[in-house]
Structure 1
Amino acid sequence: MRPVLHGDAVAAALALMPLPEAARAGAITAMLARAGAADAYRKRFGRSHPRWGDGSLMALARGRPLPPEPALDDAGYCRCLSLVFAAIAEWRDQKARLSGRS
């Protein structure tokens, strides 16, 4: 997966917002896997994946309509952002363990 920037986390959180709360953890896990696969595709073929974009979370999230970004006083949005950050940290930790850098 390409480096994760602030906009990637925001776009991923916005993509999670319309989903039922129980489906969000699985959705962000799938998004991270798809972004990783899209990045591998981009590196191999020199172009973006036709459905999953360029390997960034933002490109993947923007593949569907996103709601406007709410303010941080929206508890649901904060929960989505929190879930995205936790999933990214876990994904990075898992990659480090697999490569022997833990």
Structure 2
Amino acid sequence: MRPVLPGDVSAAARALLAVPASARGGLARRLVLQADAADRYRRRLGKAHPFWGNGTLMAAALGRGAARDEPRLDDPDYAECFIAVLNALLDRRQPV
């Protein structure tokens, strides 16, 4: 996956808002995996993945329709989504 910037986390958190709370953790992990796979695809073939984008977390999230305006960080639902994305990123870095 390409380097993660604050906008990537925001886009992924907004994508998570569109699904039920019980599905958010799984979707966050899936978005991270898709961004990883898209980055490998981009490096190997020299073009963006048709569904998951250019290897950024933002591209993977925007492919799921994360177009709504960014909520405030004190919005409880959005804060939970933001945390889920950060946890998925931290889990990715942990050795298995």
TM-score bracket, normalised by the shorter chain, equals: over 0.9
The one-letter amino acid of 2:61's match is A
Aligned residue for 2:2? 2
Aligned residues: 95
CA RMSD of aligned residues (A): 1.1
* Structure 1 gap segments, 5+ residues each: none
- Which structure ranks higher in relative contact order (CA pairs < 8 Å, sequence separation ≥ 6)? 2
Note the 1:1-102 alignment, pairs <5 A: 1-66=1-66, 67-93=68-94, 97=95
Q: CA deviation at 1:92?
A: 1.4
Q: How many Å apart are 1:47 and its aligned residue? A: 0.7
Q: How far apart are residue 62 of structure 1 and its match?
A: 1.1
Q: Structure 2-normalised TM-score? A: 0.93
Q: 2: CA distance between counterparts of 1:89 and 1:54? A: 21
Structure 1 stretches of at least 4 aligned residues deviating more than 4 Å after TM superposition: none
1:86 maps to a residue whose letter is N
Q: Give the TM-score of the pair, scaled to structure 1.
A: 0.88
- Identity among equivalent pairs (%): 47
In 1, distance between residues paired with 2:50 and 2:31?
15
